[in-house]
Amino acid sequence: VINYISHDKAAISLKKKLESLGTRAIIIKADIGNETEVKNLVNSTVKEFGSIDVLVNNAGIVFDIPFKEKPTEKWKRTLDVNLNGTYYCTKYFLPYINKDGSIINISSSNGIYSFHPDSIDYDVSKAGVIMFTKAMARDLAPDIRINTIAPGWFDTDINAKLPKDYVN
């Protein structure tokens, strides 16, 4: 299942690539920061596949705005997508994850080391993903593995405006 919110052409391209490799794939547009849309994503997934082996919580947004100028709605949106979205997807997909399945949460090195106050909402949300994963690992073991990956800055849309020497 390829979930997207704004890059439909990329989702279609990925679906075609997966199908060319012999993998069945579907595309579902859903805002994972919206609990109702996550429930619909889960229902569509289960209707198509029945159960899942791996859940990857990979959504992330950032609004690099100085803290003193950051609108509250940007702070809330960042937490809704980055942290609450991880919670929603885990909560609602969990009943359908096969025994010995896996959950992979994508955090960030910013969740470990805060680099700049312009991204404090992002940093807090990704730190929350790390702690969420640690707590859930105890609860889900030994049937379901849950881990966090905390990469540095990669060449993605979210980092497009960063200086090239920042990006790995």
Residue 1: predicted pLDDT: 96
Percent of the chain topping pLDDT 90: 79
Give the residues across from 147 on adjacent strands: 104
| 87, two tokens | 């919670």
Q: How far is CA 144 from the centre of its chain?
A: 18
Evaluate if residue 168 carries a pLDDT over 90. Answer: no
Residue 163: predicted pLDDT: 56
Kindly report the pTM of this predicted structure: 0.88
Q: How confident is the model at residue 111 (pLDDT cuts 50, 70, 90)?
A: confident
Residue 118: predicted pLDDT: 87
Q: How far apart are CA 80 and CA 24, in angstroms?
A: 30
Q: How far apart are CA 127 and CA 111, in angstroms?
A: 4
Residue 37: predicted pLDDT: 98
| 139, two tokens | 């609860």
Burial label for 68, CB within 10 Å (0-12, 13-18, 19+), is: exposed
For residues 99 and 143, is the Cβ–Cβ distance under 8 A? yes
Catalytic residues: 122
